[in-house]
Chains A and B, each alone.
Chain A
Amino acid sequence: MTRWLRTLGAGFMARVGRLGRTGVFFGQTLLYCLTPPIKVERVLRQVWFIGWKSMLVIALTGTFTGMVLSLQGFPTLRRVGSEALLGPLVALALIRELGPVLTALMVTGRAGSSLAAELGMMRTNEQIDALELLGLNPLRYLVVPNLLAALLALPVLTVMFDVIGILGGYLVGVRLLGLNEGTYFGEMSNYVETKDVVGGIYKALSFGVLIMWVCCYKGYYSRSGAEGVSAATTQAVVTASVLILVWDYFVTSLVF
């Protein structure tokens, strides 16, 4: 009984310790984001890596999401005689919800996993220790540029996803299913408000912070060796993806 309690207590304390370390990691990273020096060159390099290199996958995902929204939405709306609302349906679904969430999930899969693995390898190969011994703060040098780059890249990628998705919806709704072009875009401008767009941007920003926090943390504290890096990468992607969906609910209830 005593041994069981001791094991339970040790497990609980280890979890509390890890939670505390996660919080300290996030707090320190935020503090370093707000205080100079900022490695601008590294930030730009990470914008290229997180943003520019994700564009193709975002364009493809956005196009087909918009297309399938139209394909599903048009017959449903026609059943109630409201096919004119296809444009607002596609636009609002993308701008308020699918754009930010799917962009964040794609960035997690493409860039977040890669960053977790890279940091994990740097931990395994003692490059993080080497940075520390050279007098450089590894968080400031390795993590802060990723967070700042994600804050710059995620909103742009999300807007791009929305625009391409709306065009994908146009291709199917107007060109394939025969809805009037003026109706598709005209109704959209009647229903989509500024707060929808701003809300989507807020979501994108918060997802950017979440992805980098989780993925960089998992990589930074990865166990040594191939198995450790592999586990850290998997945990990073799974945890970030789940948290994006959970956080999406809360941020939606707050913003909209």
Chain B
Amino acid sequence: MNAPIARLFVVVVVLFGVLVGFTSRWTVFEADALRDNPKNRRELLEEQQIRRGLIRAADDTVLARSLKQADNSYVRTYPAGRLFSHAVGYSFVRQGRAGLERYYDDDLSGRNSELGSLIDRLSGSEQEGDNLLTSLDPDAQRVALQQLGGRKGAVVALDPRTGAIKVMASVPGYDPNTVKNQRAFTALNRDNDAPLLNRNTQSGYPPGSTFKVVTAIAAIDSGQYKPDSRVSGRNGKTISGVPLNNDAGESFGDITLTEALTHSVNTVFGEVGEKVGKLTMKKYMDRLGFGRPVEVDLPRDERAASGERQRGRIIPATNGAVDVGRMAIGQDKLTVTPLQMAMVAASVANGGKLMKPHLGDRIVDRDGRTVDRIQPEELSQVMTPDTAAQVGAMMSQVVKEGTGTAAALEGIDVAGKTGTAEVDHGCPNQLWFIAFAPVQDPTVAIAVTVECGTGFGGTVAAPIAKAVMQELLT
């Protein structure tokens, strides 16, 4: 009877081989598919067990914190509510993550420090996230939101020397605390006013006359024009074969570039744009960050690119479909994000050196040690310091005696540019103001835009910029 016993053992070995095979199938071969199975909530549930780090404003105000639930899991709360909804974002098991919560997820959930988590495991303590200290300024943010006063739009202000963002306001906003309620989240997603959208980095607006600053940079830095170069500001000049009009049909004689910027003369900058040409325009736009997703420490899908758009896609300024004369005054098919326009102002403010905008400042562990410092990063030298000084002086005139006088601050020189862009779809205008201050030693660069506004950039957007700069500078 020993032979059948041996055969029986072989059968058992084969059966166990099948068990090993199936265990391998789930643990190795099909593990990824199983982890991605929508019914598999293990990963999310495990995240809930982790105490995420705090997100703090520059003045240490807590913007996001994890609270322990009765069942020992953690849930995120946002003590500042709607104040920084778009910059901070949210992090919930069912709804996922957005904003800084998503961009700095590895740090906030403590996943970044391999060694740290190993030590945690050996010592038996819970995995804990590091804190994120941001450069956000709650007081200035509050002023920005007050100033927008419920009008749809965006305000973004940063330090041109470092790229540290102080204000990132987008209206309408939402209270991130409500996002964890799935029904409320669905409603936010379906809302036609798109409250979840960060208008500073995700919305493409026609820039209007604020884009003349870009044209001025290209014209002067390429050596083809000087601030006192004279160009005809006659109304109805032919640009790209089509007559172009000035605001209110006002006609000017041969005026300097400075005068043309001060009074936002379309026909001057249309001609300058044509003369400078697509290639040079493209060069300076590239240096300023156009044509690629706006540079900031937010998730990729929360960053839109600025530039000429055709059928929803960004095309280079050298494309045959581009009317460079109209692009030069911010018309044509140009769409820009408010942050991109703030970067234009910042590059002029910082002597032509464009710093990468960032919201995060430092990663700090629970014991207060700085784990990582987000270093100021130079994106490009857009123009020579000389050009920057000349363009800056031209922009000062705008606030001193031109279209942007409403942004003037007492005792502080402000440089700026207004914009009032026509919008096709049943809206009056897209109102803009970009600026920096103090002119002598700039510490703030700002972009303000208001959707569907009646009036002008100089009457609606400039006062908002003024109030925010005042808060930031005093």
The answer to whether A and B assemble together is no
**B residues neighboring A (CB under 8 Å):** none
